[in-house]
Amino acid sequence: MADSMVSSFWGPVTSTIELCEENYAHSSYIAEFYNTISNVPCILLALIGLVNALRQRFEKRFSVLHISNMILAIGSMIFHATLQHVLQQSDETPMVWEILLYLYVLYSPDWHYRSTMPTFLFLYGAAFAVVHFLVRFQVVFKLHYIGLCLLCIPRMYKYYIQTKDMAAKRLAKLWVLTLCLATLCWLCDRMFCKKLSHWYVNPQGHAWWHILMGFNSYFANTFLMFCRAQQRGWEPQITHLFGFLPYVKIQKPQKRE
């Protein structure tokens, strides 16, 4: 929320959106404090997923997917810390790039013309980045992002019904649950901001959106890694880090000499 009396290191707010958090309430260097630090769990979860993917030598697509999650969280931190329009792109453009990566991971196993999909998605992502940098559009961006997300659902559902492992199915359910809860937090923060800002304690709905979407991405990645390992015959199992954080453990068949 804007406050013209607050001094800031980054200058006047130029972003096209502001969330329901008082600007520069805790530091003159961080515009939206909670919306900034709430990206830290997202980075840590993506890092855990990346280490697991590299350690067990999953396909590179999963390493790139985890890295994209980290890039998105870092971009979001930069944007919410500054609320500058030019840095708003570091939050919104990686959101689209990340969904394009998910589309590739979801649909590429059954895509017969393997070179066409990554080429098209790369060109699409590059064109979007240029257009989004030149043109300020809020509603169109949201509708475009929702449309891309909806394209992922049929394939996720297909993987869900094909998977017999109950622990893997639980991951898919957690993906749906965190998505619904995160969306609810985002909507409440946007729709009831005037009321929430007068509460003694602001529930920080957008910060919870970040945290829940960090878990959402982690659950999605882990579920997709399990499904891909099944396709490759790697005997995947869902085990838990620290007793509560699920990850995929695989057993690749030994190569015959």
The verdict on whether residue 257 carries a ligand-binding annotation is no
Q: How many CA atoms within 13 Å lie on the side-chain side of 29?
A: 1
DSSP letter at 103 equals: H
The verdict on whether residue 80 carries a ligand-binding annotation is yes
Q: For residue 241, which phi and psi values (nearest 5 degrees)? A: -90, 130
The verdict on whether residue 66 carries a ligand-binding annotation is no
- Percent of residues in the chain assigned helix, strand, coil, to nearest 5: 65, 5, 30
Is residue 256 within 8 Å of 245, Cβ to Cβ?
no
Smallest CA-to-CA distance from 183 within 225, 150, 231 is with 150
The verdict on whether residue 210 carries a ligand-binding annotation is yes
| Count, residues in the chain | 257
Query: Would you list which residues are annotated within the binding site for Zn(2+)?
Result: 80, 206, 210
Query: Would you list which residues are annotated within the binding site for Ca(2+)?
Result: 21, 23, 32
Query: Would you list which residues are annotated within the binding site?
Result: 21, 23, 32, 80, 206, 210
